[in-house]
């Protein structure tokens, strides 16, 4: 079954009959596509345009080369983190059922914009979702260097401490893990199951003014997506476990 095609039709409120009319086929043919059959190229192009989706996303099996695959993984590119739709962060958090992974220095905007985020994360953990958060170690030379580079001074250290206090109430919650890292981040990584927001870092600029990539894991190969998964895991392995509310 092609659940991506079915979901895209539902989201655009397009019926099987309407899709059949636009592609000039019998409605039974559209039903076969929904069941999993791959349409001919001209029908794929027409449907993708109608649904405002990438052809490679709707039918990942047609992707042939790594380059095409990487393009298919990219859902959207935002010039600045501030340009990411306000509701997208919350929607991705709500939809995640298995893995939520956050690798940042502080990301105070999460708790500032979504005061109920701890409540949501706790509920996710209770429902079986693994939540892992890695914050910058405020006592590390890496964080102090970042403060100099981004003209934050001691502000970045205090932001890391504030982020730690924000997440501290979740310590002890089953399936929630918190660590402090001392690595230089080239990207902040936010993973929500098969979706990921990558906030790139620009030297001398604050994260909110840097670009964000919205990636989506494909059913086949997803080299771009899993490249960031591996990056998260590499930093996570170096992190210091925080297991008490008062510290690490």
Q: Are β-strands 176-181 and 74-78 bridged in parallel, bridged antiparallel, or unpaired?
A: unpaired
Q: Which CATH class is domain 73-241?
A: alpha beta
* Domain ranges in the chain with CATH number 3.30.870.10: 73-241
Angular region, 70: left φ>0, alpha ψ -120 to 50, beta rest: alpha
Q: Which strand (E) or helix (H) includes residue 41? A: helix 41-51
Q: d(Cα 209, Cα 147) in Å, to the nearest integer? A: 16
Task: For CATH 1.10.260.40, list the domain ranges present in the chain.
Answer: 3-62
- When pLDDT is averaged across residues 26-53 and rounded to a whole number, the result is 89
Q: Give the length of the chain.
A: 248
Closest to 207 (Cα-Cα) out of 118, 78, 101? 78
For tokens 């099987």, the residue is 16
Quote the tokens at residue 227.
Answer: 């490249």
Tokens of 169: 């109430």
pLDDT digits (tens, 9 = 90+) for 6-15: 888 988 889 9
In this prediction, residue 247 carries a pLDDT of 43
For residue 218 the two structure tokens come to 């494909």
Cα-only R_g, the chain: 21
Write phi, then psi, for 133 (nearest 5 degrees): -125, 125
Instruction: Band the pLDDT of 154: cuts 50, 70, 90.
Output: low
Specify the pLDDT at position 88. Answer: 92
CB 43 within 8 A of CB 50: no
Written as six digits, the tokens of 159 are 């932001």
What's residue 195's pLDDT? 93
Q: Look at residue 246 and tell me whether its pLDDT is greater than 50.
A: yes
CA 197 to chain centre: 4
229-243 residue pLDDT tens: 999 999 999 999 998
Q: How many C-beta neighbours within 10 Å does residue 226 have?
A: 14
Q: Quick one: fold of 3-62?
A: 434 Repressor (Amino-terminal Domain) (1.10.260)
Q: How do residues 161-171 score in pLDDT, each as one tens digit?
A: 999 999 999 99
Cβ atoms within 10 A of the Cβ of 67, count?
Answer: 10
* Tokens 């192009």 sit on residue: 45
pLDDT confidence of 128, banded at 50, 70, 90?
A: very high
- pLDDT given for residue 248 in this prediction: 41
According to the model, what pLDDT value does residue 63 have? 60
- Helix (H) or strand (E) run with residue 189 in it: strand 187-192
What is the C-alpha separation between 196 and 216, in angstroms, rounded? 6
CA distance 94 to 227: 24
DSSP 8-state class, residue 145: H
Give the residue from 60, 116, 70, 103 showing the smallest Cα distance to 191: 103
Read off the DSSP letter of residue 206: -
- Mean of the pLDDT values across residues 176-186? 93
């Amino acid at each position: 079954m092609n659940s991506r095609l079915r979901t895209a039709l539902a989201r655009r409120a397009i019926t099987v009959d309407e899709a059949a009319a636009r592609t000039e086929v019998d409605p039974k043919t559209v039903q076969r596509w929904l069941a999993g059959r791959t349409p001919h190229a001209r029908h794929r192009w027409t449907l993708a345009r109608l649904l405002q989706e990438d052809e490679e996303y709707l039918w990942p099996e047609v992707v042939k080369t790594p380059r095409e695959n990487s393009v298919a993984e990219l859902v959207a590119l935002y010039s600045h983190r501030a340009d990411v739709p306000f509701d997208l962060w919350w929607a991705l958090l709500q939809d995640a059922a298995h893995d939520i992974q956050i690798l940042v220095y502080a990301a105070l905007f999460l708790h500032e914009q979504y005061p109920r985020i701890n409540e949501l994360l706790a509920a996710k953990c209770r429902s079986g979702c693994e939540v892992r958060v890695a914050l910058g170690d405020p006592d590390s030379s890496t964080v102090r260097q970042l403060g100099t580079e981004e003209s934050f001074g001691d502000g970045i250290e205090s932001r890391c401490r504030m982020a730690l206090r924000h997440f501290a109430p979740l310590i002890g919650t089953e399936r929630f893990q918190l660590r402090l890292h001392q690595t230089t981040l080239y990207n902040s990584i936010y993973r929500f199951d098969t979706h990921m927001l990558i906030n790139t870092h620009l030297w001398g600029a604050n994260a909110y003014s840097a670009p964000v990539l919205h990636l989506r894991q494909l059913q086949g190969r997803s080299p771009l997506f899993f490249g960031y998964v591996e990056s998260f895991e590499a930093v996570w392995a170096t992190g210091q476990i925080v297991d008490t509310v008062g510290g690490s």
